[in-house]
Amino acid sequence: MTRMLRVLLCLAVAVFLMGGLAQAKDIEKVRIGTEGAYPPFNYVDSNGNLQGFDIDIAKALCEAMDVKCEFVMQEWSGMIPGLLAKKYDAIIASMSITEEREKKVDFTDKYYQTPAKFVARKGTIEDINKDTLQGKVVGVQRATIHENFVRDKFGDLVEVRSYETLEEANMDLISGRLDLICADSVPLQESLLDKDFGKDFHFVGPGYVDEKWFGEGIGIAVRKKDDKLRKMFNEAIKEIRENGTYQKINAKYFDFDVYGE
């Protein structure tokens, strides 16, 4: 072996090792984007700390992957743009796996699935159909599957008003500026129906899980082709489901299996 060949071989090995070290370093910490305004899944407590099912699941997944979690708060409408701009590495914020979103990002397997429902003031609307919805004003959170669902399925019957957060929609429903809200049933229960100010409201109509609008459940979004991180999350989801960690977190927030069928 000539001296030049030995030098080139050493350089190639060094570059390979540096690349491996860099790759290993990349997965020592995972920055996670979340909203912090969607209880009980993600919210900020009275001490200014992020809490909720999404947050606990994220921490459990990071522990299973042996990486450090770092949370980055982001308004919902900018969630995917923030991921694409590399403000964070993954989104764990109750984001549904839909065909439209899969054009921009990749998703893990689901980590939970709950139905969408309508809420209205008691004594005003008792069912969801063309007659009861005609001319009504429906509140939704902006840039969500629930907004798409209401606009597509009932847009010719109702006026749709979109809000930055579900809490803003709740306040307009209570004040009488909305006739109904459509959102995920669990946050509606937590943020409205279980509160004193929500005692005069109730669920109306069935739960909706149509895959056309609601996708395959709630997953973790990563950037396109970030297959290594996506596979790590999938393996971690499977691990915490099998070792009982998921069930413990589930029981902390819900009295039913939030994972769904």
Phi, psi of 21 (to 5 degrees): -65, -40
Total domains, the chain: 2
Q: Picking from 3-7, 21-25, 130-134, 229-233, which range would have the lowest pLDDT averaged per residue?
A: 21-25
* 186 shares its domain with 231: no
Q: For residue 193, is pLDDT > 70?
A: yes
Looking at residue 94, its pLDDT comes to 97
Q: Which residue in this structure is represented by tokens 């109750």?
A: 94
Q: For residue 184, is pLDDT > 50?
A: yes
* 221 shares its domain with 103: yes
Confidence of residue 1 (pLDDT cuts 50, 70, 90): low
- List of E strands, 35-89: 37-38, 42-44, 50-51, 68-73
Rounded average pLDDT over 21-49: 85
Looking at residue 261, its pLDDT comes to 77
Rounded average pLDDT over 103-127: 97
CA gap 259, 99 in Å, rounded: 20
* 176 shares its domain with 223: no
Looking at residue 2, its pLDDT comes to 57
Looking at residue 16, its pLDDT comes to 46
Q: What whole-number percentage of the chain has pLDDT above 70?
A: 90
- List of E strands, 40-89: 42-44, 50-51, 68-73
HSE-up of residue 206 (Cα within 13 Å, Cβ side): 4
Residue 5 maps to a domain? no
* 25 shares its domain with 107: yes
* 79 shares its domain with 102: yes
Confidence of residue 248 (pLDDT cuts 50, 70, 90): very high
Residues spanned by the domain of 170: 116-214
Confidence of residue 7 (pLDDT cuts 50, 70, 90): very low
Q: Picking from 25-29, 170-174, 214-218, 251-255, which range would have the lowest pLDDT averaged per residue?
A: 25-29
* 186 shares its domain with 220: no
Residue-level length of the chain: 261
Confidence of residue 27 (pLDDT cuts 50, 70, 90): confident
* 187 shares its domain with 227: no
CA gap 128, 112 in Å, rounded: 26
Phi, psi of 226 (to 5 degrees): -85, 60
- Radius of gyration (C-alpha) of the chain in whole angstroms: 22
Looking at residue 38, its pLDDT comes to 94
Residue 91 maps to a domain? yes
* 156 shares its domain with 109: no
Rounded average pLDDT over 73-92: 97
Q: For residue 24, is pLDDT > 90?
A: no
Residue 130, token pair as written in the block: 């063309």
pTM of the complete model: 0.80
* 125 shares its domain with 184: yes
Residue 261 maps to a domain? no
Of the candidates 179, 76, 181, which has an alpha carbon nearest to the alpha carbon of residue 119? 181
Q: For residue 190, is pLDDT > 50?
A: yes
Residue 9 maps to a domain? no
* CATH code for the domain of 101: 3.40.190.10
* 103 shares its domain with 49: yes
Rounded average pLDDT over 205-214: 94
Residue 160, token pair as written in the block: 């749709």
* 222 shares its domain with 105: yes
Q: For residue 83, is pLDDT > 80?
A: yes
Looking at residue 3, its pLDDT comes to 55
Residue 80 maps to a domain? yes
Q: What whole-number percentage of the chain has pLDDT above 90?
A: 89
Residue 106 maps to a domain? yes
Q: For residue 22, is pLDDT > 70?
A: no
CA distances from 110 to 37, 120, 197 (A): 21, 29, 33
Looking at residue 66, its pLDDT comes to 97
- List of E strands, the chain: 29-34, 37-38, 42-44, 50-51, 68-73, 90-96, 105-107, 116-121, 137-141, 159-163, 180-184, 201-208, 218-223
Q: For residue 25, is pLDDT > 60?
A: no
* 105 shares its domain with 150: no
Residue 155 maps to a domain? yes
Residue 3 maps to a domain? no
